[in-house]
Amino acid sequence: MAGIPFDQREGVIWYDGEYVPWSDAKVHVLTHGLHYGSSVFEGQRAYGGDIFKLQEHTERLHASARILGFEIPWSVEEINRVCNELMEKSGLVDAYLRPVAWRGSEMMGISAQHNKIHLAIAAWEWPSYFSPEERLKGIRLDHAMYRRPAPETAPYKAKAAGLYMICTISKHEAERKGYTDALMLDWRGNVAEATGANVFFVKDGALHTPVPECFLDGITRQTVIELAERRGLAVHERTILPEELSSFEQCFLTGTAAEVTPVSEIAGTFFEVGEITQTLMRDYIAEVQGGAEAKALRKAS
């Protein structure tokens, strides 16, 4: 079990324009976002006091809200400023930040045209674990029981709370069977992603990863593709069939929380934690820490 419950921590949360004590940052039970999933969020990380790709995350938050049909009443610049201010106010250096926007409780029903749009941002300490020994064992994935829905059946480009329903069910089922996570197929039966991270495979010195046409094109995914190309590695974004899994030598997940996490097994198909995976793990850590180093240099000069 985790330590202190998330609603009982110390500190402050930025909530609709002001800082409130952590345990007072509440919503009413008749909140539209809670009943109908009209909520979008971000997950971003700070390394050495610098929030990695903050601009990209905040732009995605705004884009997610627009896809769900609402406008966040704070600009990207204002949200960026609050994220940095919250870090300073909370004395955080290595941290996770969770901005979340949702429709309030003025109307209760499917239609919520006039509901207030709320925004809250919480941040908590999250050390940059890079314990290679643990990570290098790789994690074990099961096959997920649910598939990623077709693009015309879900707003897949939004990081929207409702899309995580099938992820939590699938992850719980995998955990119940002793796995860490689950690999989701898409609606056609092709490989898609894990429940909260994108997936890559390695074969003959090249990377292979599914095309993000029904799931999030993760900011970490895009970063890792750039890092791989900088190393001169070929990256093939293509349809990947589940029958191909056994032909791959290595597999890893990418995500803000996962960073680059090696996978050792997908339901009986085994992978080695090879050189390319390890190189990209190191390159990713160097990349995310680069911002902190640049900030420290700016401060010192």
Ligand X SMILES: Cc1ncc(COP(=O)(O)O)c(C=O)c1O
The helix (run of H) or strand (run of E) holding residue 42 is: none
Tokens of 166: 């099938």
Nearest-approach distance from CB 212 to ligand X, in angstroms: 9
Instruction: For residues 276 and 207, give the distance between their C-alpha atoms in angstroms, rounded to a whole number.
Output: 9
Give residues 177-216 in contact with ligand X (rule: CB under 6 A): 193, 196-198, 215-216
User: To the nearest whole angstrom, how small is the minimum distance from the Cβ of residue 198 to ligand X?
Assistant: 5
Out of 11, 37, 43, 73, the only residue in the binding site for ligand X (CB under 6 A) is 43
Of 216, 214, 254, which is closest to residue 235 (Cα–Cα)? 254
Footprint of ligand X on 88-147 (CB under 6 A): none
Point out the residue whose Cβ comes nearest to ligand X.
218
Smallest separation (angstroms) from ligand X to the CB of 276: 19
CB of 30 to ligand X, least distance (A): 27
Contacts (CB under 6 A) with ligand X, residues 218-277:
218-221, 254-256
Helical axes 219-230 vs 54-67, angle rounded to 10°: 140
What SS3 state is found at 172?
A: helix
Of the chain, the end-to-end C-alpha distance in Å amounts to 45
Binding pattern to ligand X, positions 50-89, x when CB under 6 A? ----------------------------------------
Q: Which residues are catalytic?
A: 159
- Which SS3 state, helix, strand or coil, does residue 143 take? strand
What tokens appear for 286 in the block? 């160097």
List of residues contacting ligand X (CB under 6 A) = 43, 167, 193, 196-198, 215-216, 218-221, 254-256
